[in-house]
Structures are given as structure tokens and as C-alpha cells.
Amino acid sequence: MTRPVTLFTGQWADLNFEEICRKASNMGYDGLEIACWGDHMDIKQAVKDDDYIQEKKAILRKYNLKSWALGTHIISQCIGDIYDKRMDTLAPDELAGKPEKIREWAIEQMMNAPKAAKRMGCSVVTGFTGSPIWKFFYSFPPTTEEMIKNAFNEIVELWTPIFDEFDNNNVRFALEIHPGEIAFDFHTTRRLIKAFDDRETLGINFDPSHLYWQGLKPHLFIREFGDRICHVHMKDVAVTLNGKESILGSHLTFGDTRRGWNFRSLGHGDVNFEDIIRELNTINYNGPLSVEWEDSGMEREFGAKESLEFVREIDFEKSEMAFDSSMEN
């Protein structure tokens, strides 16, 4: 299949950019989904500094890698969220404890993100929106319909000027449908698209792992929102409920085997990737399949290499003919 396989560098930000390029190239990846943290991509510098952009491109060329997308997840999360101390870990240290300054920083970064992407030759920026109501998802104390409506309106108000900049640079924002976001399942995704009046700028970064543990069938999400999918994460998850574990995670850290579910390296979980590939073929998705490697129970370089091999094997081509066409007279 011609779809490139990339590695999302978000989980490798402890390494410098050249080191992750070298590792990904040695593993056999076609490219990277470059995270905009660590030293992998500084959005502000990418916009103003030609030498910086040329250096990044030169390192990619050195290792025979390409990039189709920038990842902005920890930045964009700060736009729509209600502040708590966890957000201090996502923003620059000097903004800790300053909610308004954190949001201002995140908005400025995301206004520049499509410019940085364009300069890198990328047509997609992946990320989150944050959510003013995720903390109220259980609905006790009661979460009113007015609160929900106001939250969707707030996201539209915050993100419309940002989307204008995306349009100005011919770049799409690929929202990862994800718990913690304003859109985290089928119905909230449909509601968000409607809230933005079907604005084409709002694309989807499809990640089956976040859907599966909620009890959803990821391949049906592709069928429902195929026209929105402009980037794909390949990530697996295992649900291990046995009567004692909770689907809510029990405040246990990822990797703890007592959890009701855990992210797994590709092929070690429960996601049916064959169904996903068939649906991606149906919508003629030809973009990258980006491995977002997350498995606290496995050594990451072993897992990332094995995941690449898994994707290469499962990514079969779409048939150009009906199987029974040769039976016709």
C-alpha cells in the first residue's frame, strides 16, 4: 500500500529531534508526525526563522524522512479547558498559576501553528480543543443543557479566529476525538461539527484506541465521519474488565494491570484494525498512518519497531474489481 507510516514524536520528546529522526529512520519509518514540544518543533521560531525551518528539513532529508503533520496536543488543550494545576505542566514554567496567561499563550501558538505547518510543507495540524464541561461528564451535580450549549458556543468563539488562520494558510486542524475534549464520541462529534456550521477547517485525527475503550466500534466512526478524517493515529488498547476493574480507571496509572483498560502496542490489544483499514479504503484515505506508541508495559523501541511491522502487514490495498467480475459472460 502507498500510505506512508509515520511515528508521532510526542512520546519521544525526551530525545532531541535528530536522535528521534535517526531512530525512526533505522526502524524503517517513512516520516514523523512532529510534536510541537521538546525541541522537536518550536512554533514561534518556525514562523519567524528561515534557518530554523531549513535545519529541520535538512535533518529530515538526512534520514530519508518526511512529515505530513505537526502535533499540538498539549498546547491546544489549554485553550478550551477550565484551569487546574495540571495545566501548569503543559505551558511554559513562567506561566504556572496564571490561567489567563496560559490561554493567551495557547491561542497565540495555535494562531501560528498553521503558518509553521505550511512552512514545513505539512497540510495538517493535529491536536485537541480542550473542554469547559469535561469535568462535568458524569452529570452529578446535574449538568444542565444550558451549560452544555454554552460550552459548545465557547469552543466555537475561542476557535473561530484560529480556524480563520488555518484557512488563510490552507491547512486543516485535525481534532483527535478523545476523552477530555468537547468532542469525545459519536454524538459530541456530530454536535461540534454542527456548532461550527459544518466548517471544513475542522477535520478529525482518527484514533481508534480512545473510542474502543468507551464501548464504541471505531470502524463505524470512519463510516460516519469519513469526509472529516484527514489524519490517522494507529494505536491499540485492551479492555480487561473482569468484575473488579472499572472502565473509569480507578485512579490507577497507565500500565497498572489492575486497570479496566490500558493502551497497548499495536497488535497486543483488542482493536480490529482490519475493519479500520477496510473503512479507510472505502473513503479513499491516502494520508499517513501515524503510530502513536503508548504502552507502559513494553520497552518503547521494541514496541515502535514491532508496531511499524504490524502496520505494514495490515495495510492492504483496496480492490479495483469485484471478486466475481470474471464470472460474467
Task: Provide mean pLDDT across the span 227-254.
Answer: 96
Angle CA(240)–CA(175)–CA(2) in degrees, nearest 5?
85
Alpha helix (H) ranges present in 28-144? 43-48, 50-62, 73-80, 99-120
Segment 267-297, tens digit of pLDDT: 999 999 999 999 999 999 999 999 999 999 9
Distance CA 229, CA 193 (A): 13
Segment 144-196, tens digit of pLDDT: 999 999 999 999 999 999 999 999 999 999 999 999 999 999 999 999 999 99
**Residue ranges of domains in the chain:** 5-317
Under 8 Å between Cβ of 311 and 234? yes
This prediction's pTM: 0.96
Distance CA 329, CA 258 (A): 60
Closest CA to 31 of 261, 289, 228, 229: 289
pLDDT (0 to 100) of residue 318: 81
Distance CA 256, CA 80 (A): 30
Distance CA 160, CA 147 (A): 20
Band of the pLDDT at 2, cuts 50, 70, 90?
Answer: confident
Segment 23-40, tens digit of pLDDT: 999 999 999 999 999 999
Segment 86-96, tens digit of pLDDT: 999 999 999 99
Residue 248 burial (CB count, 10 A) = 10
pLDDT (0 to 100) of residue 323: 58
Place of cell 530519508: 64
Closest CA to 111 of 148, 85, 79: 79
pLDDT (0 to 100) of residue 182: 98
pLDDT (0 to 100) of residue 119: 98
Phi-psi sector, 254: left (phi>0), alpha (psi -120 to 50), beta: beta
Chain CA centroid to CA 155, Å:
18
216-220-222-227 Cα dihedral, nearest 10 degrees: -120
CATH of 5-317, one of 3.90.1150.10, 3.30.70.270, 3.40.50.40, 3.20.20.150: 3.20.20.150
Band of the pLDDT at 324, cuts 50, 70, 90?
Answer: low
Question: Distance of CA 148 to CAs 29, 83, 195, Å?
Answer: 42, 18, 12
